[in-house]
């Protein structure tokens, strides 16, 4: 791979902002504004050249202070969003450069007799905005309950299509400090809120052990996520609209300038609060570099792909391998998939025309031990029936639902707790689809956080349309 030498800059400079608009033409040629500088360090950094791309801007964090020609500090009071606990400050205790890395540090202290947390958030808004490109960042995350590092993107003008989620959001990476084996890449859009999320799990190592490279290729009709060069998520059928109105022309809202931002949150609705095990002496989110590349031009004459809806089998069942007559790889994204999150430990095996789910640790969430089958067609106005047989080694609870991974995780069949016993029983649940058509409904069996690790046996799973 070719590399180019880039001087680490400390002084102010100008960054080109691409102004691709919705339906403005067939091709967008990014404006090329020369970078101007008045002072630079003598240190050089080898930055890879990428075939078909030009380096638009980058920060190797090789100086002594944050380059405020590229980044803003963004202070916020605690509870500003997601019920997070931290105050984002402009203090160099929370945001600083060390050894060629940007460090965002969460600090625990005390205020008014209660635990108080500060941290940092930096954004490129109005300084390094751009439309379309390849964003590459190398980072090492902290480990600890309640820590939530993220590298993500928001539009320069959030009001252009309307407030979140109508404006759109591109999450390049998120990792929860209590589960540093799994990284998430997510697209948010809507209204109603939709999302496309992918995960990449590591084995034998985790994202807190060392630096990993996270990248997103953002093009007019498709957005792709990579970790260490591995493609793990692709989105191409997003939308945005005001509730009750027509959708904006595709590829809105991802056809406007966005900016990169990075932060380390503490607590919140997703990771939950820190606890006694969280070591704030090590609560540092380190970023080695951020690089943004861009192609000379992009074809903006793109169309939203037609949705492909799974057809029912001859017996009317939308579930594939519902009788568990075929062995499957339960780790891939085809048909059945077994998942572990947030402290859940266990395994699943198909045998004797059933799936056997063995739990070792129940974890902290209902979905900590989970069996799913996605890609179920859910059509507004139709009625569906979910049925299956189940028993367990000893009496225990499980939860069944039909969720919407692409529509904000709303429920088409609400979370339904049921009691399984040592005797095989048949369970049946009917529901009416009242939301927008969705080709990615997901049947879920959630066995985590139920006060039991008893082995569960599931068979004869059906999802069918009823009159």
Annotated catalytic residues are 169, 174
Distance CA 258, CA 131 (A): 6
For residue 165, the SS3 value is coil
Question: Which among 49, 54, 46 has a CA at the least distance from the CA of 8?
Answer: 46
Q: Residue 232: count other Cβ atoms within 10 Å of its Cβ.
A: 16
SS (HEC) of 332-373: CCCCCEEEECCCEEEEEEEECCEEEEEEEEECCCHHHEEEEE
Distance CA 435, CA 164 (A): 20
Beta carbons of 7 and 40 less than 8 angstroms apart: yes
Q: Residue 297: count other Cβ atoms within 10 Å of its Cβ.
A: 12
Beta carbons of 318 and 377 less than 8 angstroms apart: yes
Helix, strand, coil shares, percent, the chain, to 5: 0, 50, 50
Question: Which residue in the block uniquely carries the two structure tokens 């625990």?
Answer: 108
Question: Which among 148, 176, 143 has a CA at the least distance from the CA of 278?
Answer: 143
Distance CA 130, CA 156 (A): 9
């Amino acid at each position: 791979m070719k590399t180019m030498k880039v001087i680490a800059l400390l002084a102010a400079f100008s960054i080109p902002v691409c102004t691709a608009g919705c339906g403005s033409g067939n091709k967008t040629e990014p404006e090329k504004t020369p970078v101007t500088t008045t002072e630079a360090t003598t240190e050089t950094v080898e930055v890879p050249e990428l075939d078909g791309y030009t380096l638009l801007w980058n920060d190797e964090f090789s100086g002594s202070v944050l380059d405020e020609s590229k980044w803003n500090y963004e202070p916020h009071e605690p509870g500003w969003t997601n019920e997070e606990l931290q105050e984002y400050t402009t203090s160099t205790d929370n945001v600083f450069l060390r050894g060629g890395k940007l460090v965002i540090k969460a600090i625990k202290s005390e205020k008014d007799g209660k635990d108080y947390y500060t941290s940092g958030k930096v954004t490129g808004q109005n300084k390094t905005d751009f439309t379309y490109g390849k964003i590459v960042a190398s980072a090492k995350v902290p480990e600890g309950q309640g820590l939530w590092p993220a590298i993500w993107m928001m539009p320069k003008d959030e009001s252009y299509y309307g407030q979140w989620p109508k404006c759109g959001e591109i999450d390049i990476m998120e990792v929860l400090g209590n589960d540093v084996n799994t990284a998430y890449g997510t697209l948010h859009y809507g209204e109603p809120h939709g999302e496309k999320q992918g995960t990449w799990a590591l084995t034998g190592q985790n994202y807190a052990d060392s630096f990993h490279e996270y990248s997103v290729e953002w093009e007019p009709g498709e957005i792709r996520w990579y970790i260490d060069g591995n493609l793990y998520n692709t989105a191409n059928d997003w939308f945005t609209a005001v509730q009750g109105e027509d959708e904006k022309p595709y590829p809105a809202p991802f056809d406007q300038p966005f900016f990169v931002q990075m932060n380390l949150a503490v607590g919140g609705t997703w990771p939950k609060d820190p606890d006694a095990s969280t070591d704030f002496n090590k609560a540092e989110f380190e970023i080695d570099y951020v690089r943004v590349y861009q192609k000379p031009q992009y074809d903006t004459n793109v169309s939203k792909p037609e949705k492909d809806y799974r057809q029912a089998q001859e017996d009317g069942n939308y579930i594939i391998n519902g009788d568990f007559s075929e062995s499957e790889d339960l780790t891939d994204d085809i048909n059945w998939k077994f998942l572990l999150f947030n402290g859940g430990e266990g395994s699943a095996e198909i045998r004797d025309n059933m799936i056997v789910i063995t739990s070792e640790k129940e974890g902290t969430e209902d979905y900590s031990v989970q069996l799913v089958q996605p890609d179920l067609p859910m059509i507004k106005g139709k009625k569906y029936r979910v049925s299956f047989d189940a028993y367990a080694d000893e009496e225990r609870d499980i939860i069944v639902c039909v969720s919407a991974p692409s529509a904000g995780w709303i429920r088409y069949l609400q979370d339904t707790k049921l009691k399984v016993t040592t005797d095989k029983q048949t369970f049946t649940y009917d529901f009416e689809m009242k939301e927008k058509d969705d080709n990615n409904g997901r049947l879920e069996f959630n066995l985590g956080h139920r006060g039991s690790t008893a082995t569960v046996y599931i068979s004869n799973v059906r999802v069918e349309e009823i009159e």
